[in-house]
Chains A and B, each alone.
Chain A
Amino acid sequence: MLQFILRRLLFIIPTFFVISFVTFIVIQLPPSDYAQTYVSGLLAQGDNIDAQATLKNLRDLYGIGEPAYVQYGKWMWGILTRGDFGMAFEYQQPVSFIIWERIEFTIVITLASLLVSWLIAFPVGIYSAVRQYSLGDYLSTFLAFIGISVPSFLMALVIMYILFKYFNITLGGLFSSQMEKAPWSLAKVVDFLQHTWLAILILGVSSTGGLIRTLRANLLDEMHKPYVITARAKGLPEWKVVIKYPLRLALNPFISGVGFTLPLLVNGSIIISVVMSLPLVGVMLLRSLQSQDMYLAGSLILITSLLTIIGVFLSDMLLAWVDPRIRYQ
């Protein structure tokens, strides 16, 4: 088991460098000189700086004008030693100043919506499989397909409209203005939930339909395996049989999928974030790509990828923990 963990951990390092290199190529793509763009931006704002000195500083720092591998090396060096991801030109700030908060909120919202989708999908999926072709199964299949086919931003718009029109509630953002800068407290958490529950619910529900169908199919596969008959032949009541045996095996595909929730959510949440004005990573990434704010875009891709690698590592660990066949390979 320890060997398994170490092997997986070691695997993370080369993966990280491959991804960072690909990301760097993305950063390299636009033809302009970022330092020049940045300094002209500062001057245009009327900042009183020594243009030549600043330019030279920046060029040295990021290796601009030098061969690509030097630039890559300097970028990585900056990240690994100083946590410096480069400059976000549009924001006129270092990337590291502006992304962490968004990444935190994105992770929180990802985990919360994952929780929501599981809380709905598990009972419904299990019911659907155990009572295959019952009225409840047909109903859940119907709802699952609606959930899969209706775009989540549309759902968000409709619900926001109804909430506003009939309950006079406006949702949007993460916090109310007075809580924005307040330190973390129970009240702030409540405020956060009051602002984001709909987004979490809708992001959760949008993946629930697929989950229900997958769980139902996995479970139906497992329910007819001989070990289930053995469990029944022991005299276990049916619900215990289902929960202890086939469900346990039907979970494997879910656990291995957990690691990929983050990139899916980063991509999937863009429209919702725009509609509900949520400062999540997806929107920032989209904007940075549009405005060729390349260090920002590259850093966002890099960090999301790294978090995904870590997520996959964790789900591998979880899988090995629940499935001895993997552990003892």
Chain B
Amino acid sequence: MEGPELLLEVKGLKTYFFLDEGTVKAVEGADFSLLRGGTLGIVGESGCGKTVTAYSITQLIESPGRIVEGQILFHRRLNGVEGSPATTEVVDLAKLRPGSRSICEIRGSEIAMVFQEPMTALSPVHTIGDQIMEVILLHRKVSKKEAREQTVEMLRHVGIPKSETRLDTYPFQLSGGMRQRAMIAMALMCRPSLLIADEPTTALDVTMQAQILELMKQLQREMGMAVILITHNLGVVAEVCEQVAVMYLGEVVEWADVEALFADPLHPYTQALLRSIPKLGQSKKGRLDPIKGMVPDPYNRPGGCPFHPRCAQMIAGRCDQERPPLVRRPDGRTVRCVLYADS
């Protein structure tokens, strides 16, 4: 067996929204990659471009938004003929036209998504069974009856009791947790190689959050798919993810293994972020440091390093002038900050 295999590489991704009021640079340089079967967390404050990054990967960005630069290389496994080894082909998802045949073949079948609000993310006038079955009927050659059986099976798998009858209920007849389970079942119907979950637990209460995360971990182990988990909660990342990309104002400012990042955060923003959350075993006296200042509004991104107005280590004349380069460290982690540019 060869070593871990790449699944997704995002390189220099930029996604802008061209509005009458100006251009919103929602994603302004996202770089990270993900191994087959791996788990990547994307963290950052609200509005920093996490959702836009996720939507860019599957070309779900709607006009007036557009991917303007960068590559999204998806290593797609082609199922070879019986006996012969599987081969992979690399597709640049950023080059595919939104709504084109090629991206539609990948969506739902190889890259599936779970969204934040399971109530609004499901159609209120179709049964959950109808909405889930549709995925497999679309991508696989199965009969209605087989699709129904597989859906019942999958619903049971994600922990929905009495799934034969739940199939015919409408989303508003289920609790929030059950709806999110149905949403996950829908995403997993075709056994995708990548699952993107955009704040899947944010809308749920705390006990439900833990259950859903546990379920996702369990399903990932069973199915061997890779997961991108988007969250603004570093605690969730620590618990679930192997790698993490920290975003600030549309940029991935740091990308590293989770242990390395928590043990030795490089980017001043990551450091501030870690100081702002409580740690296990931290004494009551140890104060939490909220990050000073506000997130600037997206029309007026600061020049140079976007974090410089809030950065304690800011080097005047440098950080506010030039865009910090993307620095790749010997251990493979990347960071976008001048402090590491010369090492």
Contact = CB atoms under 8 A, between A and B. Distances in A.
Do A and B bind? yes
Contact of A234 (B99, B138, B170, B172): B138
A328 interface: yes
A237 B125 contact: no
A239 B153 CA distance: 30
Contacts, number: 80
21 contacts: A225-B120, A226-B121, A227-B120, A227-B123, A229-B121, A230-B186, A234-B107, A235-B104, A235-B106, A235-B107, A235-B135, A235-B138, A236-B134, A237-B104, A238-B99, A249-B125, A323-B124, A324-B124, A325-B125, A328-B170, A328-B173
B109 interface: yes
A197 interface: no
A235 B121 contact: no
A127 interface: no
B227 interface: no
B338 to A, nearest CB: 38
Interface residues of B, number: 34
Highest count of chain A CB atoms <10 Å: which of B106, B112, B123, B131:
B123
Interface in B59-115: 60, 62, 99, 101, 104-109, 112-113, 115
Nearest to A236: B138
A229 B125 contact: no
B138 A233 contact: no
A324 B113 contact: no
Contacts of A248: 123, 125-126
Contacts of A226: 115, 117, 120-121
A232 interface: yes
A233 B58 contact: yes
B61 to A, nearest CB: 10
Contacts of B108: 233-236
Contact of A232 (B105, B107, B126, B186): B107
A237 B134 CA distance: 12
Contact of A227 (B58, B113, B121, B139): B121
A231 interface: yes
A231 B186 CA distance: 11
Given A226-B115, A229-B60, A235-B135, A245 B123 contact: yes
Contact of B170 (A224, A237, A249, A325): A325
Nearest to A228: B123
Given A231-B123, A234-B138, A325 B172 contact: yes
B122 interface: yes
B125 A233 contact: no
Given A224-B62, A233-B58, A325-B124, 12 more contacts: A226-B115, A227-B121, A227-B122, A227-B123, A230-B121, A233-B107, A234-B138, A236-B108, A238-B99, A324-B127, A325-B172, A328-B172
B125 A322 contact: yes
A323 B60 CA distance: 27
Interface in A285-311: none
B22 to A, nearest CB: 19
B60 A233 contact: yes
